[in-house]
Structure 1
């Protein structure tokens, strides 16, 4: 075996190696579209049990790996998982999503937040990641993930999911100093959390700033980008060789700004043509994505054509094939299987 074959395929691509095909995984690949997951969820209805009990989270993380052999196996968790370690409790209600009660609305609450120690508050994360590394060996890259400060702050301040983000934006526009103090605390905690995930076995970490696409470009530059940069800088100081990915939903208007975060790879949603995304981001930044999740409801020929189109447009360097968002719950499993199978065996078509 050569040295490079000891390194998992996705990690090789993320580090810039030219490979015969792009590696492939799917956001939300462990989850509701798989019958084996739904059966497990019926037995363990609490989301926090499923994501925080190591034996359950390990099993769920590995379900798509066993079924489809993707190049990436991502930790089954939630972006809110670290919040209780700061003193912000949350619950996830199946039909309503995350609930944070009381929401963060005052400077006093922000200043009472606890110092974040993941070893103390999240020991299960280390157990899960170590087990995943052991289970998949070099057959796949183990990915960790975290939420970015703006998005975590939005959940904590709104107290739940939101359509218009009026509460956090009111704070941003009326009491910016208070919000900045909160975002700074979150950024430092998340940087610590990323390092903890890497030390526990994550080989690549994806940061989700899911709600930053709701910001105007000038507000993105004020409230999202500096805190993404703060995390990346802290992580790169101690773990310079671990690739970092940034994903934002609805990011077409801030794509170039995402590239300024310092991450190695920008995950592109389907509202941007992949060739244009490459052009806008420049040659030094890798790309991930960006097949429309609804494409998996199309015919096999349609799915294959979309995969080929994306791969051709992305080029051969630093591209990780993925969906432009998470796989949808009603996606036929056989179409997910076809997506992976096609992605892993079409190199002769791509190179033709």
Structure 2
């Protein structure tokens, strides 16, 4: 029966597999014409991500086109915030907007614990439908934002280039920020468990902005709350693999390894061999092809995949990009990436 499980799930659990599984961060999205056509008909991002039929359709678009080994829920890391009492909007040209931002103890104390089943039923519905649709041909991935990154959005009120507002809170009002991070961690843990119970077989935690912290501040404001999420999820679902991704993580890789996750997703600024050398052997690695390479030639893409897979040999490895696929990437080059990933054994043989 084990061999009937999806390749990505078997790899993530540490089983011997015939090749590294392959999927892509942001594989459902703007580089695909079929997505852009749907977006033109449904311009509101929250409509696309919170209306179950639309979220399901978008999640399935890259699976139908490329047959990756993982199908990831189309959603947003901010999706659970309204269930806690933090509303948001996403404006196509500006990104997320949270108004009013969270700046006071009274606002934090007014937040609700997340009841994921009650406030996010569409997430559970989509995950269940994805499991039914792909059966064991691919693993169904869930994802969440980690507490530091969600706090940064909530406190800044929008995307930021310097994170000055939340860093000011961290260094002037640390007790307030820790209260917010604790609330977010407990709610996110409940959200991860809900995704697993709804059908997610692997879950990725995105702490996209934690790479903007110095290592000493990562130890205070990010890592403990990543671990708080992981510990609560593992207490309920010990066999569900968890992946942690941070953009710009080169300075904190060893620290990421201590959070209790099963996989570290490397961004493309870390050499795969260096990343593997810096991480304990029991941890899996995901990544880490530069998304910009997908603007190059098919040969360049294949050669980089061979290089990445060779450097990760001997480790649990999920082939992926080192960040999300970029808008404007030629769809045919995405196809090359997936096809090369799935035929990597033949490519490795040819490279010898």
Q: TM-score range by the shorter chain?
A: over 0.9
Alignment correspondent of 2:53: 55
Alignment correspondent of 1:176: 174
Distance 1:84 1:179 in 2: 19
Unaligned runs of 5+ in 1: none
Report the count of equivalent residues: 350
Alignment correspondent of 1:344: 342
User: Does 2:63 align with 1:65?
Assistant: yes
Quick check: 1:32–1:329 contact (8 Å CA) kept in 2? yes
Alignment correspondent of 1:264: 262
Alignment correspondent of 2:253: 255
Cα offset, 1:4, TM superposition: 2.4
Unaligned runs of 5+ in 2: none
Cα offset, 1:260, TM superposition: 0.8
Alignment correspondent of 1:93: 91
Quick check: 1:191–1:231 contact (8 Å CA) kept in 2? yes
Structure 1 range deviating more: 313-322 or 185-194: 313-322
What are the residue-to-residue correspondences of 1:280-291 with 2, within 5 Å? Answer: 280-291=278-289
Distance 1:276 1:243 in 2: 23
Cα offset, 1:97, TM superposition: 0.2
Distance 1:312 1:21 in 2: 11
Could you list the structure 1 runs, at least 4 aligned residues long, displaced by more than 4 angstroms after superposition. none
Per-residue CA shift, 1:17-47, capped at 9, x if unaligned? 1222100000000000000000000000000
Alignment correspondent of 1:117: 115
Distance 2:322 2:308 in 1: 11
Distance 1:314 1:73 in 2: 23
Distance 1:115 1:209 in 2: 20
Cα offset, 1:108, TM superposition: 0.3
Distance 1:122 1:161 in 2: 24
Distance 1:74 1:243 in 2: 14
Q: Secondary structure of 1:135's match?
A: helix
Structure 1 range deviating more: 187-196 or 15-24: 15-24
User: Does 2:242 align with 1:244?
Assistant: yes
Distance 1:75 1:243 in 2: 16
What are the residue-to-residue correspondences of 1:206-221 with 2, within 5 Å? Answer: 206-221=204-219
User: Does 2:14 align with 1:16?
Assistant: yes
Q: Secondary structure of 2:259's match?
A: coil
Per-residue CA shift, 1:73-114, capped at 9, x if unaligned? 000000000000000000000000000000000000000001
Alignment correspondent of 1:273: 271
TM-score (norm 1): 0.98
Distance 1:295 1:316 in 2: 25
Cα offset, 1:318, TM superposition: 1.1
Q: Secondary structure of 2:222's match?
A: helix
Alignment correspondent of 1:135: 133
What are the residue-to-residue correspondences of 1:28-43 with 2, within 5 Å? Answer: 28-43=26-41
Q: Secondary structure of 1:195's match?
A: helix
Cα offset, 1:316, TM superposition: 4.2
